Structure 1
Amino acid sequence: MNIPNTQDGPTAERHVLYVEDQPLNVMLMEELFRSEPQWRLHVASDGASALEALRTLRPDLMLIDMHLPDTDGHRLLQAIMARSEGGRPCAPCIALSADAMPEQIAEARQTGFDDYWTKPIDVAVVLTQLHRWLKA
């Protein structure tokens, strides 16, 4: 099932891969996505299932928790980049973590993350950022 990104405009479907192992965080993000019918949330609960999902899914955005049961966000992003043409992920990647120290954020950006959102998420801020990244 290859999902191409061929549509443009505010009504085009946008696919987001959310890599998160905490069910409550997943439920919150699913609820947030219900407000935007053109957005499709795909959830992977660990790094291995995220890499497997990327075999067929070409997301418009990836949201990656920094603390997963089988890896951390840095290693997962490096694995994604190693499998990607040109060494860049197929979509922008956002790190999510309760870690909010400036050096942690700087390290994530150096790894290649395009942005860093702290938990617990502020729903209004995340919704605004999703609109910005998905250009909806």
Structure 2
Amino acid sequence: MPSPARRPVLYVEDHPVNALLMAAILERRPELELLVATTGEEALCMAAGLHPALLLLDLGLPDCHGSRLLGLLRALPGCESVPAVAVTADINFPVEDWGFCELWPKPLNVDEVLARLDALVGTQPAPAPQLPELIAQPGPRALTSHWR
């Protein structure tokens, strides 16, 4: 189950490398928590009572097509109107005909996925890490103070 402070994103993807890539991308949005299901059946079990912020569905799942799964997910409380994205290599798939709001083509473009996440669920980029004060100090003082 997701942490209460983080909003769940359900990603249904049977290829482990694609799931790892999405996990790495979502690390840049700490307010989101990625939950991965590898089959349609597992996704239905996970989604029950989840109230996800976003659904990300691969189309070529081992037990069903992602478009069929979306129809089944829409019948669950909390998933009726959640934005759903088809994540697929099939760039000609007619997403609007099946209830998806958009298509993210594989291979994923990290910057585009982050921008679309921000637009769809209202996330913000994580602040850049601060450099240690010694490195951040301008001028030679910070670098030469250790040599005196």
Place the TM-score, normalised by the shorter chain, in its bin: 0.7 to 0.9
Output one character per residue of 1:57-111: Cα deviation in whole Å (capped at 9) or x when no partner: 1101000001100001111011112x236xx72411100110112xx2x2x2111
Q: Percent identity?
A: 38
Q: Which residue of 1 aligns with 2:116?
A: 129
SS for the counterpart of 1:15 is: strand
CA distance in 2, matches of 1:36, 1:77: 24
The match for 1:67 among 38, 60, 68 is: 60
Q: Give the drift of 1:3.
A: 7.8
1:42 aligns with 2:29: no
* Cα separation, partners in 2 of 1:74 and 1:53, compared to 1, 3 Å: same
Alpha carbons 1:80, 1:89 under 8 Å: kept? yes
Match 1:84 to one of 67, 76, 86 = 76
Normalised to the residue count of structure 2, the TM-score between the two structures is 0.75
Q: Aligned partners of 2:35 and 2:81: how far apart in 1? A: 15
Unaligned ranges ≥5, structure 1: 5-11
Matches within 5 A, 1:77-116: 77-81=70-74, 83-84=75-76, 89-101=80-92, 104=93, 106=94, 108-116=95-103
In structure 1, the residue matched to 2:7 is 14
Q: Which amino acid aligns with 2:51?
A: R
Question: What value does the CA root-mean-square deviation take over the aligned residues?
Answer: 1.9
Give the TM-score, by structure 1 length. Answer: 0.81
Amino acid corresponding to residue 47 of structure 2 in structure 1 = L
The answer for the alignment partner of 1:8 in structure 2 is none
- Give, as a single letter, the amino acid of the residue that structure 1 aligns with 2:82: A
Q: Provide the rounded CA distance (Å) in 2 between the counterparts of 1:58 and 1:51.
A: 12
> How many corresponding residue pairs?
122
Q: How far 1:120 moved relative to its partner? A: 0.5
Structure 1 residue 14, shift from structure 2 partner: 2.2
CA distance 1:30–1:41, shift in 2 (3 Å)? same
Gaps of 5+ in 2: 124-148
